[in-house]
Amino acid sequence: MAEIRERKLGLVSISNKRLTWVDIRKPTREKMKILEETYLFHELNIEDCLSKIQIPKIDRYEDHIFVILHFPSIDKNESIPRTTHLAIFAGFDYLVTVQQGELKPLTEMFELCKISEKQRDSFMGTTSGYLLHRIIDLLVDDLLHILMKLKGNLDDIEDVVFDDKHAAPKEISLLRREITTLRRVVIPLKRIVMDLSKDIQKFSTEDLTLYFDDVKDHIDKVIEVLEESKETIEIFKDTDFMLSTEKSNKILAVLTILFTLSIPATVVAAIYGMNVNLPGGIDTGPATFFGPFTSLTLLVTAAILPSVIMLWYFKR
């Protein structure tokens, strides 16, 4: 028989048989005060639930355990995942989840249990330990979906990196940030799940070792994909840097050649622009043995001939 109760300030609980599940989203001091009075949790754990800066950990008590886990969450207006911490109180006949942000898979699971008796029996039909396993397993599977999107972004970046018409430093930097965020979440998660599989057993009548081993295997797959993605994005970063450097060097080479070829003409123009008497100048009388434009012809030849010789030398 299922029972759904809503206390003041929006605290909603679902009871199925002997198990109660309370889910709190975006906790406030008022909500946590009600929770503390109802279950007599330690005040330090209550403060940990309200704090936005906590590391993953397990606190063990005689009648319950307190766990903090980190999971990525993606806002609809954001493309980069941000870390959201999930606090969990697990006792013999209850499970309390406190979401600092909002983990969409967990929220959907709770709402599904509210409206579907079949799902309540599936998730909450046994013990709090089994329910905790289902929650972690669901959130780890959601990690796999995030990784599929990450792999797709890596494939898109590969096309951009080898396209001469586009530069991809910003896209590469964003993907490196995303991979780093996910690694910071997943690596501690594996350690916590391994410890949790032993601690949660005293709140369950069935052996949950195989269930948590399956979750650990999924986490190992996530870590493996992240390590592979980290190596791939580093290769793309180095490749983009080398291609950009090569492109810049080609541009600089062309500009250098053009500047070098213009030096003879610049020197000739500078010399004959001086206000002094020069051979073939106006003051000394222009040369006319090749006609009225002899001085101009000689000056143009003196400017062009060294450039032609240098161009032949560069090409050779």
The top-scoring range by mean pLDDT among 78-87, 141-150, 277-286 is 141-150
Cα–Cα dist 210/208, whole Å: 6
Residues of the chain with CATH 3.30.460.20: 2-245
Residue 248, CA atoms < 13 Å, CB-side half-sphere: 7
Q: How confident is the model at residue 168 (pLDDT cuts 50, 70, 90)?
A: confident
Residues in the chain: 316
CB 90 within 8 A of CB 67: yes
Q: What is the pLDDT of residue 11?
A: 77
Query: Stretch 269-286: mean pLDDT, rounded?
Result: 65
User: How crowded is residue 310: how many other Cβ atoms within 10 Å of its Cβ?
Assistant: 15
* pLDDT (0 to 100) of residue 67: 93
Give the pLDDT mean for 4-11: 56
Instruction: Please state, for a pLDDT cut of 90, what percent of the chain lies above it.
Output: 18
Question: Does the pLDDT of residue 151 top 90, yes or no?
Answer: no
In this prediction, residue 284 has a pLDDT band, given cuts at 50, 70 and 90, of low
Condensed to tens digits (0 to 9), the pLDDT of residues 170-189 reads 888 888 888 888 888 898 89
Rg (the chain; Cα; Å): 36
The Cβ-side half-sphere exposure at 29, using a 13 Å CA radius, reads 0
Residue (of 218, 237, 240) closest to 229 by Cα position: 237
Q: At what angle do helices 209-272 and 128-161 cross, to 10 degrees?
A: 20
CA distances from 177 to 96, 160, 171, 187, 250 (A): 32, 18, 10, 16, 31
Classify burial at 221, counting beta carbons within 10 Å of its beta carbon; exposed 0-12, middle 13-18, buried 19 or more. Answer: middle
Average pLDDT, integer, range 153-171 = 79
**Mean pLDDT within 232-261:** 85
* CATH of region 2-245: 3.30.460.20
Alpha helices in the chain (DSSP H): 29-39, 43-50, 104-115, 117-124, 128-161, 169-199, 209-272, 294-315
